[in-house]
Structure 1
Amino acid sequence: MFAEGSAFPLVFVTAAPSADHVAWSIQDDRGNLRGSGTFPVPSGRQTSTLSCTSTASGYFAVTATLLRAGGTLPEAGTRPKGIATFGVLPDLSSIIPAVTYARQDQHRFGMQGFYGWAKTLKDLGVSQIIDSRQMSSMEPNGPNTWTPSLDNVDPFFKSGDIMRLVRVDGIPAWASPTGAFQDNTRLPTDLNYYRTFMARVGADTAAIRQAYYPNQRHNYYQVTWEPDWKDSAPDFVALYKAAYTGLHSTDPNAVVMGTTSPDPGACAWCMGGVLATYASLGLGQYLDGVVTHSYYSDKPSPSQPPEQRDTDPDPSKASRALDLQMRALRAQMQAIRPNMRLWSSEVGISYDPGSAYGPNYPSANQLYAQAAVAARTHLIVLGEGAQVTYFFYGADFPEEAGYGSFFDVVNPQGSHTARNVSPKPEAMAFAAMTRIIDGTRTLGHLNGLPKMVYGYAFQQMGGGTVITALWTHNNANWPTPAGSYSPTAGTTYSLKVDNVGTNGTVTVLDMMGNPHTVGYVNGIMNLTLTESPIYVVSQNASVMAAQITAPVGYTGQ
């Protein structure tokens, strides 16, 4: 990934049987040609370098062949044959004013994967990751074998740049009633010891914050991870009571959160269902906030997008639309304990069901669709009142095809410990989103939207610039009957950005952060919306405030 406007090399290695020419081209995420040319090469192994700059940001795929001998770029890990990829990071400093963060934890984006990859996380605009303090990790072999010490803190965190969400689920075999490791299923054998262990975790986290994160107001803990609870309902509340009291006993800045169910909805194992089950037993008094995973369907993918509210005739599918689930979860939280924080610590978009890594997959169209759906998903999560959302995942991994936002260019089936990667369109959509949305507070969803139009308004902290994210989605045409995902099909929409009687211009950013200027007349601008989100940058906050409904219980950053 390169800074916009910087010079960077494209290095080609050829092995032509005789003197030949390389024909090369560069396409963007929608398949548009952004550059092409030829250059001569001699026979035998040859390295040729082109120096490039880009005034456009986003994802780019390089293709190349020998004009006489043919051939193409080889498959590399999970990246199919025919392409090499790179990204150009947007520079929006002249468009979106810089924000002053009063506290470090006002940032809004985290990521799973890339633990320790400081530069990559910074380039993506990610400010926090998950750090484990599970009993199963810290004391796998017996009690009282871990003594917190700043000497043992991962050097990655000592810079203080990337914050920690402290994960504390996981019971080792010696503390488990099953005699084997268990996670989120049963109480540990000694709940009092579990509480004192949590007190040590709280003391450890408080010391790390004081030493390395002086501008971070709170420490954040995630108690369970997609729980599949086998003990009684009172036992589940007892687990949270022990964790809550232990952590708060030593960390005055603790924010204890759960239950981190895989879906924000109302089914028995979903976030809303779990809260409903345990709220009457007092779970709310042991939660400072709620963490959910935001998988609105079993296997979200380009063909299973989050928006089904207006477009699916099947009521069971419509009821699982992500915006409605997040809205209902916020209302339920408010009834249990007003104004709690809401985080989404995981949601990702895979390739389409049944997909597999291979030399001819994924297609450029599948990669485009993944980026568009992933961007929309995280905008819904934030727009419906989550303070923080986590991208999932860093690089491709073996279990399910395509969840990575980067190709693993070494391992054909991907790896959780990938060390050499190249970006997909999704990664560059994330890099644009963080630069546009980080530093904002959510205003809410736009009212009175036409069928199949979606929109959320955000405002920079301190009462600054307004940013409105908009797109359209139509299940009937996604994919099209021919099986492709159209980057151009869409609809028109008129957005009010200023007072009646006022004419002017605003900047509109595409999904990759590329700007163009659009005029408005009498306060109204006309937009063409597609399945890729766009961002309208405007200044009249009072006009936007009159058009939105704020998330219930959301109190900003």
Structure 2
Amino acid sequence: MERTNAYSPIDHSKTPHRHLTSSVRLRPTVARVGLGAAIAGAVAMLAACGGSGGASSGTSSAAGQTNSTSITPIVAAGGEALTCGAPSAPTNAASTSGDAVEADTPGSDGSRTFALGSNFQIALTTRTSQSDTLAWQVRDNWNVVRASGTVPVQSGAHSVTLDCSSTLAGYFAISATLAKESSQLPARGTRPAGVATFGVRPDVSATLPAASFARQDQHRFGGQGANYLIAGQTCCSGDGYRPLYADLGLAWANDNRNWYMEEPNGPNTFVPGTGTLAPYFRNGDISRLIQLDGIPGWASPTGAQTLGYAPASESAFQDYASRVGTDSALIRAAYFPNQAKNYYQITWEPDGGGSTKWLDSDANLVAMYAAAYTGLHSTDPNAVVMGVTAAILRTNTQWLARLAPLGLAQYLDGLTVHGYYDAGTSPSHPPERLATDPDPATAANALPASMRELRSAMAKYLKPGAKLFATETGISYDTGATYGSSYPTQDILFAQGAVVARTHLILLGEGADMTYVFYSSDSPDDTPGYGLFFDLSSANGSYGSSNISPKPAAMAVAAMTRIVDGTSTIGYLNGVPAGVYGYAFQRLGGGKIVTALWTHNNAVWSASAGFSASYSVPYTLQVDDDGTSGQVTVLDAMGNAASMPYSNGRITLSLTEAPLYVVSANAAVAKANATVPTGYVAQ
């Protein structure tokens, strides 16, 4: 397999994240950090990888069209629909200059997503030199037309609105074409030509009432990236997490207490206290993962700021960590009283290239962790010290095995990992790509196998009940792709959404306690497309954009979080045939069972041949005792529900590449048919 640079460089200093209330000093988000040539060792593990896929920008049709057979969503059969009324009388457009055709959905919270069942408008603007007819359509994640119509167009610049409502949740793409001029919607930022997108957020409360969280830190989804959607805000002042994270269902974010940020010019300038907490964390609804990676130049053995070396004085770092512990304990008491612990991530992608690569000795890395552990625990009785946060998932296992005999394990209360599993995590490189390879050494690199290996290492080296946080995993476009007017296509967007959901379901189902999605919107990363949202402000992507619109991935995440958050993992399903993947979860407090299921076949999933939405395999899932019959609820990848019958305790499903979720009640049956991840302790 050709090696690719999947882990493109995003400098620590490039992504605005927060500011201190006391000094209005901009603080960077710790974003994707490049691995560069440093992943060569890990990529060598994949050198013999099989399966389909590869680096290609694809040859599929435009984003609003598809060459593959359109299919109805797996569920979407419970009477859900998107409806739009007759167009309004035309009014003069706000501007006479602009594109021939424009479409948008004004009136959202800034995310261009809407609550299920709410009323919203589609605004259509034309600028023509003659009378014409505008044909419009709204298609869903599966490219099915959900609404359509025509509008007579007068010459000049005019706008009409459609009053719409939807009981169908998910991703939607508007297309609009003038008959005579053959004009279509232009590209906007990273969004390709031909579509304007919006989303309808799912409401699964009728099937899964809101979970009861005994502790704030029982939430299972977090994210990286901020977007300033509140009117009047721009990057990077204000709150870049709201309303975005609530819309997506994310409840964790990084909070920087890095030494090189807090004390860049000398020691003892960081003063602990609740005033250090950024205003957007003060609602207490987004838990903090506290970052401690990086050493200021004055404390560095090289004389320069570094993430690759231990500090010149371990005692100085221990003292700083003790003050961070005091800070966190005060903040937790004031703003997070329902959070059981404070969580600290000590290093960031030490296996990476660029500034994060660990260049110091193993002994010094262990000594640095010892200083952090001792300092944090001396002042924060609820500290959970975590690392090493290698970028490639299997590298975390290798580093733990190498460093545990040197004493690292005694300074870890848990592991933080980044979940990158392949030389490029993209539609063409899904997490199951290598799972069916006949070579066991190659198959071991598939994400499910890599997670099982990691959980076994944790059980061997770490204390019982150690937490496992996957604090970054993103799915980009395929390596070699670029943002453009004809890219990505509809089937690539469908594939990305499916792979994003599957990746995080595997991470949780194989024993991660919590997982971060990456990234909120398209960024100027060398490998493009990590964003759950298009960035409409820049053709190359940007950080902190205030003008975004959803991809299918955003709405797949919004559904997954509402269905799976508030659960504990039961485990992976036993005895599934090759190509079928299934994970069972149980709602907190002994509640309902949620089983996530899908299939994957490399033969129908590649940039060259397309990403099939119609490929399916039958699968029978046991949901109840033998001899019983009844109904269960099945939700599709966008969170649309339908009631389906089962008999003899079993339901027959048609699995596709897009996950579905089966909600049932018999926990004993679910637990009998699944394997708990090694060492995993239910919440």
- Where do residues 404-553 of structure 1 align in structure 2 (5 Å cutoff)? 404-479=531-606, 483-553=609-679
Partner amino acid, structure 2, of 1:20: D
What is the CA distance between 1:156 and its match in structure 2? 0.3
Unaligned runs of 5+ residues in structure 2 are 1-112, 228-239, 351-356
What is the CA distance between 1:191 and its match in structure 2? 1.4
Aligned-partner Cα distance in 1 for 2:489–2:593: 36
- Where do residues 81-100 of structure 1 align in structure 2 (5 Å cutoff)? 81-100=193-212
Quick one: which of 310, 313, 317 aligns to 1:190?
Answer: 313
CA contact (8 A) 1:77 1:412 kept: yes
What is the CA distance between 1:488 and its match in structure 2? 1.2
Aligned partner of 1:341 in structure 2 is 467
Aligned partner of 2:135 in structure 1 is 23
Q: How many residues of Structure 1 are paired with residues of Structure 2 in the alignment?
A: 551
Q: 1:357 to 1:308 in 2, by over 3 A?
A: closer
Aligned partner of 1:209 in structure 2 is 332
Aligned partner of 2:376 in structure 1 is 247
Quick one: which of 259, 265, 270 aligns to 1:141?
Answer: 265
Aligned partner of 2:39 in structure 1 is none
What is the CA distance between 1:313 and its match in structure 2? 3.4
CA deviation map 1:467-519 (0-9, x unaligned): 00011111222128x61100110211111111111111111111100112221
Indicate yes or no: 2:457 matched with 1:328.
no
What is the CA distance between 1:353 and its match in structure 2? 1.5
Aligned-partner Cα distance in 2 for 1:502–1:103: 36
Aligned-partner Cα distance in 2 for 1:295–1:307: 12
Aligned-partner Cα distance in 1 for 2:604–2:151: 41
- Where do residues 32-111 of structure 1 align in structure 2 (5 Å cutoff)? 32-111=144-223
Partner amino acid, structure 1, of 2:382: N
Aligned partner of 1:120 in structure 2 is 244
CA deviation map 1:347-374 (0-9, x unaligned): 0111112100011100010000001111
- Of 172-181 and 404-413, more deviation after overlay is shown by 172-181
Aligned-partner Cα distance in 2 for 1:394–1:545: 35
Aligned-partner Cα distance in 2 for 1:313–1:79: 39
TM-score by length of 1: 0.97
Aligned partner of 1:294 in structure 2 is 419
CA contact (8 A) 1:16 1:66 kept: no
| Matched residue SS, 2:393 | coil
Aligned partner of 1:14 in structure 2 is 126
Aligned-partner Cα distance in 2 for 1:61–1:477: 24
- Of 329-338 and 429-438, more deviation after overlay is shown by 329-338
| Matched residue SS, 2:470 | strand
Partner amino acid, structure 2, of 1:394: S
Aligned-partner Cα distance in 2 for 1:518–1:309: 33
Partner amino acid, structure 1, of 2:215: R
CA contact (8 A) 1:453 1:473 kept: yes
Aligned-partner Cα distance in 2 for 1:170–1:296: 25
| Matched residue SS, 1:53 | strand
CA contact (8 A) 1:289 1:342 kept: yes
What is the CA distance between 1:415 and its match in structure 2? 1.0
Aligned-partner Cα distance in 1 for 2:134–2:502: 38
Partner amino acid, structure 2, of 1:552: T
What is the CA distance between 1:93 and its match in structure 2? 1.0
Indicate yes or no: 2:438 matched with 1:313.
yes
Aligned-partner Cα distance in 2 for 1:310–1:334: 23
Aligned partner of 2:77 in structure 1 is none
Aligned-partner Cα distance in 2 for 1:165–1:377: 21
Aligned partner of 1:160 in structure 2 is 284
CA contact (8 A) 2:435 2:445 kept: no
What is the CA distance between 1:447 and its match in structure 2? 0.5
Quick one: which of 383, 392, 399 aligns to 1:263?
Answer: 392
What is the CA distance between 1:254 and its match in structure 2? 0.6
CA contact (8 A) 2:253 2:287 kept: yes
Aligned-partner Cα distance in 1 for 2:533–2:523: 10
CA contact (8 A) 1:202 1:248 kept: yes
Unaligned runs of 5+ residues in structure 1 are none
- Of 348-357 and 65-74, more deviation after overlay is shown by 65-74
Aligned-partner Cα distance in 2 for 1:476–1:319: 20
CA contact (8 A) 1:309 1:324 kept: no
CA contact (8 A) 2:224 2:519 kept: yes
What is the CA distance between 1:298 and its match in structure 2? 2.3
What is the CA distance between 1:315 and its match in structure 2? 4.1
What is the CA distance between 1:97 and its match in structure 2? 2.3
- Of 148-157 and 507-516, more deviation after overlay is shown by 148-157
Aligned-partner Cα distance in 2 for 1:243–1:152: 20
Aligned-partner Cα distance in 2 for 1:78–1:314: 39
Aligned partner of 2:360 in structure 1 is 231
| Matched residue SS, 1:131 | strand
Aligned partner of 1:272 in structure 2 is 397
Aligned-partner Cα distance in 2 for 1:483–1:178: 51
